[in-house]
Amino acid sequence: MLARTLLAVALAAVSGAAAAQKPAAPPAHDKVSMCIGCHGIPGYKTAYPVVYHVPKIGGQSPAYIANALKAYRAGERSHPSMRGIAASLSDKDIADIAAYYGGAK
């Protein structure tokens, strides 16, 4: 009986401590997942606004990726989908995306 009581107390303490912990922060690469749907498919072509081959960005220079995203965000590049995506990115998001895909092969 004492063993059951101790076990119940221990389990309550552990579950209470786990519930009190802050949720884990999203990984630094949380935003990179939105890129993979187009840029991670070999030979992918899109039909908006015209049919064209979507370039793979894995292994591209991180500086190039960051500069391209900043240019889309500033309206200096005109692809509507990329402008919309880049507009939602912070400078840190852009740096994280560039570092992630710049290191990918």
Predicted model pTM: 0.67
pLDDT for 64 equals: 95
pLDDT for 65 equals: 95
Homologous superfamily (CATH) for 25-103 = Cytochrome c-like domain (1.10.760.10)
Tell me the residue ranges of DSSP E strands in 1-105. Answer: 45-46, 52-53
pLDDT for 20 equals: 46
pLDDT for 23 equals: 41
Closest CA relative to residue 87, chosen from 96, 99, 98, 75: 75
Where along the chain do its domains lie?
Answer: 25-103
pLDDT for 27 equals: 41
Q: What is the pLDDT along the chain (105 residues), one digit of tens a residue?
A: 544 443 444 444 444 444 444 443 444 556 878 888 888 888 888 887 778 888 889 889 999 999 999 999 999 998 888 999 999 999 999 999 999 888 876
pLDDT for 28 equals: 52
Task: Determine the 3-state secondary structure of 53 from DSSP.
Answer: strand
